[in-house]
Structure 1
Amino acid sequence: MKNIKAWVVSLRLRTLPLALSTILMGSIVAAWDGAFRAEVLLWAALTTLFLQILSNMANDYGDALSGADNETRVGPQRMIQSGAISLGQMKKAIIVLVALALISGLTLLAKAFDTEYWKLLAFFLLGLAAIAAAIRYTAGKNPYGYRGLGDIYVFLFFGIVGVAGSYFLHTNAWQWEVLLPASTLGLFSTGVLNLNNIRDIESDRKSGKITMVVRMGRNKALWYHAALLADGWLLFLIYAILTSRTMLLWPSLLALPLFIRNIVRSFKTREPSKLDGELRNLSLSILLFVVLNAVVLIF
């Protein structure tokens, strides 16, 4: 029973709503354009969950190998760090998740594109890139998460690829305007990573993990955090105006106070461990923002 609990903890369930938000946003934009497909949403969501869990476990594995997860680390204890799961067991779990992500992803592509083979190939290669990026974040030689490149990864895969990619899977068509809500989700998601790295700044410094926050320092990282969230809202405003969908703003504005509160509390919080609650709150605020956008489809 204890081992089952350890594996459940290693999934990092609280990261999953953020991953699903990107797929939901792309699906909602597709629905606004009259091209929603339920089977695409289902398989895209499942594939995204596998990729997110893969990323979480690879992160646990990589940080354990590098020493980034140590006694000075703030935040939830990692399962390899605690000794509940061995490196060998985690490596096997990573292999299983790669297989599950591939199976789910191939099913998604078959549902979306049928016999359009060039699209199948293009998205298959994109899927392989997503798997590689999930693993290489903190695992392998010279992981990019240790060189301050994690923010770029999150912006691309939680924003551009997640939102614009899922939109294309629904519609089989491309609209440049979709890059605006995609960038909104990318910036919001990068804000979550940034807040996580502000919390972990001291342990990351000691272990040699050079995140953007370590490069900038805490004070600049807080202003960077505010800019990420503010710019995300600005891009969504521009999208609503350009596409004559200003009615989208009214439901989503209900989530705005939560983003403002997150910025204010992040500046006021001096104890790193207390930022953990703000991490959870920001992830849920992003999910609420996305769900509120779906309200327009109902009314």
Structure 2
Amino acid sequence: MEKLKFWIEAFRLRTLPLALSSAILGSFLAYANGQFSPLVFGLAISTTIFLQILSNLANDFGDSQHGTDNANRVGPERSVQSGKISKKEMKRMIVVFIILSFISGGLLIFSGIKTANAGMMILFFVLGIASIVAAIKYTVGKNPYGYSGFGDIFVFVFFGLLGVCGTFFLHTNQFEPLLLLPAASIGFLSAGVLNLNNMRDIKNDTASGKRTLVVRIGSQNAKVYHALLIILSPVLSLIYVIKTWQSVYQLMFLLSIVPLGFHLYEVFKNHVPDKLNNQLKVLALTTFFFSVSYSLGVFLVK
């Protein structure tokens, strides 16, 4: 039972609401388009959960591998670094979640691609494999991209653009360029969570040689960058709503502006990176609230 507790801690289940935001929004935008598959929705949720846990486990293993997880690290205790789970055990569990992600993702693609389009099937399998590789290579192996400042791009693309537009396509077999606006909104907020995480860890990352974007541009510029991410998100979604206007319900996501505003205030007045930990939870949950309120507004319109 104690080992199970350690694994649940390693899975970092509190990160799941943020990860699920794109799948939820993409699914309800498809519902607004008159096409929604419960099977696709369920498989999109399970695939997202498996990929997020895979990413969490790989980060735990990778940061211990590179020495970033040490006594000076701020934030939740990592499983491998603390000795609760061995590197060998973590490797095995990573393989388990690679398999689970591949099976769930494969079923999702077969359920979503409604036409005998081999090219589209191959494209989605390539994207699915890329998602698995990206989840692992963020911190694992030689030259992980998370150590070179490219993590923000990964999060924006996979948690935002691909997460929302890909889910929408698997429901509808259609791609609408305008969807890039709400997809980018989720991508920016998700990148904001990563940026905040890196702002918190700047001291240890600098000492460990982890060259995140925050380390490269400095804390003050990282705050300005953070503000742009947070502000652009509702602005882009508002543009989308204006262009697809049907009802005032579509504006429900604007309720998230209040917590986002308070969040920015707390970030800008902060001068002790270690104390940004609480704002990570605030932004992650607000992103989830943004997605759910947006989806609820779409649902009520229909």
TM over 0.5: yes
Please indicate the TM-score interval, normalised by the length of the shorter structure. over 0.9
TM-score, normalised via structure 2 length: 0.96
Write out aligned runs for 1:133-282 (5 A). Answer: 133-245=134-246, 247-282=248-283
SS, match of residue 80 in structure 2: helix
What's 1:64 paired with?
A: 64
* CA shift for structure 1 position 248: 4.8
AA in 2 matched with 1:164: C
- Contact kept, 8 Å, 1:74 with 1:272, in 2: the verdict is no
Runs of at least 4 residues of structure 1 off by over 4 A?
none
Asked if 1:78 is matched to 2:78, the reply is yes
Contact 1:198 1:213 in 2 (8 A): yes
CA distances 1:82-141 after superposition (whole Å, capped 9, x unpaired): 000111110111111000001101111111125433222110110000001011000011
Counterparts of 2:202 and 2:141, CA distance in 1:
22
Under a length normalisation based on structure 1, what TM-score does the superposition of the two structures give?
A: 0.97
- Give me the whole-angstrom Cα distance separating, in 2, the residues matched to 1:248 and 1:262: 25
1:240 counterpart letter in structure 2: V
Percent of aligned pairs sharing the same letter: 46
Residues 134 and 145 of structure 1, relative CA distance in 2, 3 Å threshold: same
Name the CA distance, whole Å, in 2 between partners of 1:23 and 1:174.
15
Task: Give the counterpart letter for 2:159 in structure 1.
Answer: F
Equivalent residue, structure 1, for 2:122: 121
> Structure 2: how far apart are the matches of 1:26 and 1:156?
14
| CA distance in structure 2 between the partners assigned to 1:269 and 1:248 by the alignment | 35
Aligned to 1:49: 49
Aligned mates of 2:274, 2:142 — CA distance in 1 = 30
* Alignment correspondent of 1:30: 30
C-alpha RMSD of matched pairs (Å): 1.2
Which residue is 2:17 aligned to?
17
Deviation of the 1:250 alpha carbon: 2.7
Corresponding pairs, count: 299
Query: Bigger shift: 155-164 or 233-242?
Result: 233-242
Structure 1 CA distance for aligned equivalents of residues 241 and 300 of structure 2: 18
The answer to whether the 8 A contact 1:27-1:167 is kept is: yes
C-alpha contact (below 8 Å) 2:241/2:251 kept by paired residues = no
| Mapping for residues 1-16 of structure 1, pairs under 5 Å | 1-16=1-16
